[in-house]
Every structure is written in C-alpha cells, then in structure tokens.
C-alpha cells in the first residue's frame, strides 16, 4: 500500500530562520511527487512536481528536492507570509488518472 509520511507535524520558526520539511514515501514506482501549500479555509495550492531522484525545483524562498525514498522542502529565510500547511503527495506509476496519496502535512508558523 502506498504511504506518505510528513515530519515534523508542526514547525515554529522565527522570521529568517531557515528549515527543512521531510516527506518520506513508500510506493511501488513513482510517477510524480507533488508539493502543495494550504492556507486556513482554502484548498491546496500547487507548488512543485518532482519526477526523478536528484531533481530539484525552486520558487522564491522554497526549494524541493527528491531522493528515491524521500523529498525535502527547504524554506530559506522564511517570512510570516510563508506560514501555511505544506502537503506532500505521490502519484504511483500504477495509479490511473489523478489519484494522489497525500501525507498528513506540516503546519509551519513563521513569527516576525
């Protein structure tokens, strides 16, 4: 069975204090790994898709990396507006369509 585990569950950071979020996954063949951001009262917002080990993607203060067993979301010099829940999801090779398996998320709070 496909599994996605995110750690930590919650993260409190001071503005400017860089950190990393972890997403460990177990899947029999990976088609894609996705990172989403979710603000309170809203649906998830797409950030990145990673397809193969060694791949990296960047967007502003966020950088996502992928290995064969896990992905990291690095937040560099975060600002209060980076406060959100970050969700990781996998799309297995055997899955048809857009059937994503999500992790439980990491709630990030950045204090000024």
Partner 1 sequence: KAGVTQTPRYLIKTRGQQVTLSCSPISGHRSVSWYQQTPGQGLQFLFEYFSETQRNKGNFPGRFSGRQFSNSRSEMNVSTLELGDSALYLCASSWTTGKTNEKLFFGSGTQLSVL
Residue 62 or 91 having the CB closest to partner 1: 91
Residue 95 in the binding site for partner 1 (CB under 8 A): yes
Max Cα distance, the chain (Å): 44
> Nearest distance from residue 69's CB to partner 1, in Å?
19
3-class SS at 54?
coil
Residue 78, strand partner residues: none
If phi over 0 gives left and psi between -120 and 50 gives alpha, with beta otherwise, what is residue 51? alpha
Residue 97 or 112 having the CB closest to partner 1: 97
Residue 49 in the binding site for partner 1 (CB under 8 A): yes
Q: Which stretches of the chain bind partner 1, using CB under 8 A?
A: 31-32, 34, 36, 41-46, 49, 51, 87, 89, 91, 95-105
């Amino acid at each position: 069975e496909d599994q996605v585990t995110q750690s930590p569950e919650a993260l409190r950071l001071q503005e400017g204090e860089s950190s990393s979020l972890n997403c460990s996954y177990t899947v029999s063949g990976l088609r894609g790994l996705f990172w989403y951001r979710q603000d309170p009262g809203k649906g998830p917002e797409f950030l990145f898709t990673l397809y193969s080990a060694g791949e990296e993607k960047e967007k502003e203060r966020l950088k996502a990396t992928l290995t064969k067993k896990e992905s990291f979301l690095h937040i560099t010099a975060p600002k209060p507006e980076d406060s959100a829940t970050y969700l990781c999801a996998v799309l297995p090779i055997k899955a048809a369509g857009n059937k994503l398996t999500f992790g439980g998320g990491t709630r990030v709070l950045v204090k000024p």
